[in-house]
């Protein structure tokens, strides 16, 4: 049994991978599972069961519920990462989904962030928080939606320049075992692989006009 102190220790990528049930995946800053259910009523029932388990554990996931699906996202916001509390609740959710006859859909999981090249992030960060309606108290150097609905905006250091060039790029975080499938789909859709030197942490791809995006995973990130 973990102690209260251990429950508030942020886990490493390896520790998270070793402790997750097989239907959960680790994305940028949370773990998640998505389940296919028979209909909306069964999705509601599974969400209610997860809610009861969360109350018992005094640790609460973010849930997305719609017709025929439930998605559960877990992170310990007090430490800014994934802890043993999240792993324990993930196992409970996995068992509840199995008992309900819900089927995991790891290929449907992703997390999207936007990176902006800037030579002075302190100058532009307040604007992006304000225009997106984000709480400034969440993560000091990023614009983060505390409700989990909108994408995170982070800032990549660059040299100051006048010539227009692409400064925005999306980071699409996917489960490690889904990266190759997502990359293959992008290439089949006319894209090109620009750089895989940092794979499997991330791959840089471009659309047919040269606009870039990254497919990212937690692999080899410590």
Domain presence at residue 38: yes
Q: Are residues 85 and 168 in the same domain?
A: no
Total Cβ atoms within 10 A of residue 200: 16
Distance CA 86, CA 182 (A): 27
Lowest mean pLDDT among 14-28, 105-119, 155-169: 155-169
Domain presence at residue 222: no
pLDDT value of position 3: 55
pLDDT value of position 127: 87
Higher-confidence residue of 210 and 170: namely: 170
pLDDT value of position 2: 56
- Packed helices 40-57 and 84-99: angle between N→C axes, nearest 10 degrees: 140
Q: Are residues 137 and 166 in the same domain?
A: yes
Q: What pLDDT band is residue 93 in, cutting at 50, 70 and 90?
A: very high
Which CATH number characterizes residue 212's domain?
3.10.180.10
Q: Are residues 159 and 190 in the same domain?
A: yes
Q: Are residues 104 and 119 in the same domain?
A: no
Question: Of 108, 139, 167, which residue constitutes the final position of a domain?
Answer: 108
Domain presence at residue 1: no
Distance CA 73, CA 110 (A): 11
Distance CA 205, CA 35 (A): 29
Distance CA 112, CA 28 (A): 9
Question: Of 77, 108, 139, which residue constitutes the final position of a domain?
Answer: 108
The pLDDT tens digits of the residues spanning 19-73 come to 999 999 999 989 999 999 999 999 999 999 999 999 999 999 999 999 999 999 9
Domain presence at residue 221: no
Q: Is the pLDDT of residue 5 over 90?
A: no
Nearest 5°: phi and psi at 42?
Answer: -70, -30
Q: Are residues 95 and 123 in the same domain?
A: no
Lowest mean pLDDT among 9-13, 83-87, 149-153: 149-153
Residue whose pair of structure tokens reads 């849930």 in the numeric block: 63
- Rounded percentage of the chain residues whose pLDDT exceeds 90: 67
Q: Are residues 17 and 55 in the same domain?
A: yes
Domain presence at residue 208: yes
pLDDT value of position 164: 64
Q: What pLDDT band is residue 4 in, cutting at 50, 70 and 90?
A: low
Which CATH number characterizes residue 73's domain?
3.30.1360.20
Question: Of 61, 89, 108, which residue constitutes the final position of a domain?
Answer: 108
Number of domains making up the chain: 2
Q: Are residues 59 and 102 in the same domain?
A: yes
DSSP conformation class of 137 = T
Q: Are residues 115 and 161 in the same domain?
A: yes
- Can you give the residue range of the structural domain that contains 205? 111-216
pTM for this predicted structure: 0.83
Q: Are residues 125 and 85 in the same domain?
A: no
β 152-157/111-118 pair status:
parallel
Angle at Cα 41 formed by Cα 35 and Cα 47, nearest 5°? Answer: 50
Distance CA 143, CA 141 (A): 7
Q: Is the pLDDT of residue 1 over 70?
A: no
Q: Are residues 89 and 131 in the same domain?
A: no
- SS3 of 35-88: the string is EECCCHHHHHHHHHHHHHHHHHHCCCCEEEEECCEEEEEECECCCCECCHHHHH
DSSP conformation class of 210 = -
Percentages of the chain per state (helix, strand, coil), in multiples of 5: 30, 25, 40
Q: Are residues 87 and 159 in the same domain?
A: no
Q: What pLDDT band is residue 115 in, cutting at 50, 70 and 90?
A: very high
pLDDT value of position 94: 98
Q: Are residues 49 and 26 in the same domain?
A: yes
């Amino acid at each position: 049994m973990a102690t209260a102190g251990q429950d508030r220790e942020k886990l490493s990528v390896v520790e998270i991978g070793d402790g997750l049930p097989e239907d959960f995946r680790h994305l940028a800053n949370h773990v998640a599972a998505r389940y296919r259910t028979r209909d909306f009523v069964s999705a509601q029932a599974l969400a209610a069961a997860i809610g009861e388990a969360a109350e018992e554990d005094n640790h609460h996931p973010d849930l997305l519920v719609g017709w025929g699906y439930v998605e559960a996202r877990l992170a310990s916001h007090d430490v800014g990462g994934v802890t043993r509390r999240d792993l324990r609740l993930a196992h409970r959710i996995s068992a509840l989904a199995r008992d309900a006859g819900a089927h995991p859909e790891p290929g449907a999981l992703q997390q999207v962030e936007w990176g902006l090249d800037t030579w002075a992030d302190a100058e532009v960060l307040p604007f992006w928080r304000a225009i997106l309606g984000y709480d400034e108290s969440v993560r000091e150097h990023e614009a983060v939606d505390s409700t989990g609905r909108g994408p995170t905006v982070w800032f990549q250091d660059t040299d100051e320049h006048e010539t227009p060039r692409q400064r925005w790029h999306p980071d699409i975080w996917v489960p490690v075992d889904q990266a190759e499938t997502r990359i293959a789909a992008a290439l089949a859709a006319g894209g090109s692989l620009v750089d895989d030197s940092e794979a499997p942490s991330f791959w840089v791809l471009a659309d047919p006009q040269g606009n870039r995006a990254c497919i990212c995973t937690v692999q080899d990130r410590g």
